[in-house]
C-alpha cells in the first residue's frame, strides 16, 4: 500500500511538472507601440515614454504576472509609416498586442493591420466616431468628438456667447469637430460667424487670427492637435488683442499638461473638455501621478500627466488584466472576451469597455486654466458621467 501511494504521488508530481515548467518558460508578452516620438508630436512621445516607464516601475517590469517586452516604433507623424511599422511588428517581431495612434489617420492605418493579422489593437488617441465598426480586434481608450465638443458648445452658450468662430487643423477629424461645435451652438440659439481649416503643424497664426478678429466672435472653438501649434496659437491669440473680448473653448490638446508651462499666462481662462483631470482626488490618480512624476527630472516635476498619459496607462492596465486572466499561450478568443465589458477604476475615474462597441465608457470633464500654488493647472468645474 505504501509503495502504491508513493507511485501515485510520483505520478502526480510528473503530471504537475510540465505545467510548472511551461509557466516558467513562457516567453515575455510583446507589446508593439507605434507613436510619434519625433516631429510635431515629439512632446507627446516623450510624455508617453514617461508613462510606460512609470507603469513598468510600479509593476516590477511585469504584465499579468509575466515578463513584458515593449517594442517602440516612431511613426514620424505619418500614417503610412504607422501602417508599415505595425506590419513589421506583427510579422517580424510577433507582438501579442499593438498599441498606438495619436490621430484618426494613424488609428485607421494600424486598424487595417490589426484586422488582417487578428492582433488586438489599443488606440491611444483618435476622436472620430464610428472608426471601430470594421475593426473587430480594436479598442479605443480616447474620447470621441461628440463626447468632448458638445459640452464645450453648450458651455459657450451658457457663458453668454452669441457669436462663435471655429478653427481646426485641416484633417477630417478637425472638420468634424468644427461641425459638431457649430451644429450644437446654432441649435442652442447661437450663430457661427466663420470657420477656418489650417495646414497641420501651422505655427504662424497671424493672418488667420486677424481674419477671426474681424468677425468679432465672443467665443472661439479650437482644435489644433497639440504640439507646438497649441503654444503658438495662444501666444498669437493674445498678441492680437483677442483675449480681452473672446473666450477660447478647445479640445484638451490645446492646454495639455505637458505644454502648459510653455503656454504661460496666455492659457489662463481657456476652457477645455477632457476625459481626465489631474486634480481628481482618488487613490488610483494619486498613485498614477506619483509614479509618473518619479520618472521626470527634478526640474520638470511640476508637469502633471495629461489625458494622453492616462489613456496609455489604462491600456497597459487592460492588457495586464487580460494576460492575468489566462495561463499558457495567449488565446485570441479569451483575450477578446476578457476585454469586452472589462471595467476598472482608472486615474480618470470609472471606465468600462463597452461589450458591443469596444468604446470606452468614461467621465468627461470641463476644465479651465488657472494658477494654483504658482503653477498652471486645468481645474475641472463640471463632470459629465458616462452616457
Q: If you average pLDDT over every residue of the chain, what do you get? A: 89
Q: Poorest-confidence range of 57-71, 167-181, 201-215, 221-235? A: 221-235
Q: What is the mean pLDDT of residues 82-101?
A: 97
Residue 58 vs residue 17, higher pLDDT? 58
Q: Is the pLDDT at 4 greater than 80, yes or no?
A: no
Q: CA 79, 81, 83 angle in degrees (round to 5)?
A: 75
Q: Is the pLDDT at 302 greater than 90, yes or no?
A: no
Q: What pLDDT does residue 189 have?
A: 97
Q: What pLDDT does residue 21 have?
A: 36
Q: What is the mean pLDDT of residues 82-104?
A: 96
Q: What pLDDT does residue 24 have?
A: 55
Q: What is the mean pLDDT of residues 261-288?
A: 92
d(CA 272, CA 235) in angstroms, rounded, equals 17
Q: What is the mean pLDDT of residues 46-66?
A: 93
Q: What is the mean pLDDT of residues 238-262?
A: 88
d(CA 308, CA 288) in angstroms, rounded, equals 13
Q: 181-190: per-residue pLDDT in tens?
A: 999 999 999 9
Q: What pLDDT does residue 20 have?
A: 39
Q: What pLDDT does residue 331 have?
A: 97
Computed from CA positions of residues 238, 241, 244, 246, in that sequence, does the dihedral angle turn out positive or negative?
Answer: negative
Q: Is the pLDDT at 312 greater than 70, yes or no?
A: yes
How distant, in Å, are the alpha carbons of 36, 51, 217 from that of 292? Answer: 19, 6, 39
d(CA 387, CA 384) in angstroms, rounded, equals 8
User: Which domains, ranges and CATH numbers included, belong to the chain?
Assistant: 25-143+283-356 (3.40.50.2300), 146-274+366-384 (3.40.50.2300)
Q: Is the pLDDT at 9 greater than 60, yes or no?
A: no
What does the buried/exposed string (b/e) look like for 127-156 if buried means 16 or more CB atoms within 10 Å of the residue's CB?
Answer: bbeebbeebebbbbbbbbbbbbbbbbbbbb
d(CA 37, CA 254) in angstroms, rounded, equals 19
Reported confidence tier of residue 2, pLDDT bands at 50, 70, 90:
very low
Q: Poorest-confidence range of 94-103, 147-156, 197-206? A: 197-206
Q: What pLDDT does residue 50 have?
A: 93
How distant, in Å, are the alpha carbons of 89, 166, 196, 223, 336 from that of 215? Answer: 49, 11, 12, 19, 50
Q: Is the pLDDT at 281 greater than 90, yes or no?
A: yes
Q: What pLDDT does residue 194 have?
A: 95
- Going by DSSP bridges, is the β-strand pair 138-140/247-251 parallel, antiparallel, or unpaired? unpaired
Q: What is the mean pLDDT of residues 209-225?
A: 92
Residue 82, CA atoms < 13 Å, CB-side half-sphere: 26
Residue 5 vs residue 295, higher pLDDT? 295
Share of the chain above pLDDT 90, in %: 68
Q: What pLDDT does residue 316 have?
A: 98
Amino acid at each position: 500500500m505504501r509503495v502504491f501511494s508513493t507511485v501515485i504521488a510520483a505520478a502526480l508530481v510528473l503530471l504537475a511538472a510540465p505545467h510548472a515548467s511551461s509557466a516558467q518558460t513562457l516567453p515575455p508578452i510583446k507589446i508593439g507601440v507605434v507613436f510619434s516620438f519625433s516631429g510635431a508630436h515629439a512632446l507627446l512621445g516623450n510624455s508617453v515614454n514617461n508613462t510606460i516607464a512609470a507603469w513598468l516601475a510600479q509593476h516590477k517590469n511585469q504584465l499579468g504576472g509575466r515578463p513584458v517586452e515593449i517594442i517602440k516604433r516612431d511613426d514620424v507623424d505619418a500614417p503610412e509609416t504607422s501602417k508599415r511599422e505595425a506590419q513589421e511588428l506583427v510579422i517580424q517581431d510577433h507582438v501579442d498586442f499593438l498599441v498606438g495612434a495619436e490621430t484618426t489617420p494613424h488609428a485607421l492605418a494600424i486598424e487595417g493591420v490589426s484586422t488582417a493579422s487578428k492582433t488586438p489593437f489599443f488606440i491611444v488617441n483618435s476622436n472620430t466616431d464610428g472608426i471601430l465598426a470594421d475593426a473587430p480586434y480594436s479598442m479605443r481608450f480616447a474620447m470621441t468628438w461628440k463626447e468632448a465638443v458638445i459640452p464645450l458648445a453648450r458651455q459657450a452658450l451658457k457663458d453668454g456667447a452669441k457669436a462663435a468662430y471655429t478653427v481646426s487643423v485641416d484633417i477630417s477629424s478637425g472638420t468634424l469637430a468644427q461641425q459638431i461645435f457649430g451644429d450644437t451652438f446654432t441649435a442652442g440659439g447661437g450663430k457661427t460667424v466663420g470657420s477656418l481649416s489650417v495646414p497641420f503643424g501651422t505655427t504662424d497664426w497671424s493672418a488667420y487670427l486677424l481674419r477671426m478678429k474681424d468677425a468679432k466672435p465672443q467665443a472661439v472653438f479650437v482644435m489644433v492637435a497639440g504640439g507646438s501649434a497649441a503654444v503658438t496659437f495662444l501666444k498669437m491669440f493674445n498678441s492680437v488683442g483677442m483675449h480681452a473680448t473672446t473666450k477660447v473653448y478647445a479640445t484638451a490638446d490645446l492646454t495639455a499638461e505637458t505644454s502648459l508651462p510653455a503656454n504661460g499666462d496666455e492659457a489662463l481662462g481657456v476652457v477645455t473638455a477632457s476625459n481626465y483631470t489631474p486634480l481628481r482626488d482618488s487613490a488610483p490618480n494619486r498613485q498614477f501621478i506619483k509614479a509618473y512624476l518619479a520618472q521626470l527630472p527634478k526640474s520638470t516635476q511640476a508637469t502633471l500627466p495629461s489625458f494622453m498619459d492616462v489613456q496609455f496607462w489604462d491600456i497597459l492596465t487592460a492588457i495586464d488584466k487580460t494576460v492575468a486572466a489566462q495561463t499558457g499561450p495567449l488565446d485570441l478568443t479569451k483575450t477578446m472576451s476578457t476585454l469586452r465589458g472589462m471595467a476598472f477604476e482608472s486615474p480618470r475615474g470609472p471606465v468600462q469597455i463597452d461589450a458591443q462597441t469596444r468604446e470606452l465608457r468614461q467621465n468627461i470633464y470641463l476644465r479651465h486654466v488657472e494658477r494654483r500654488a504658482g503653477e498652471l493647472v486645468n481645474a475641472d468645474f463640471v463632470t459629465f458621467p458616462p452616457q
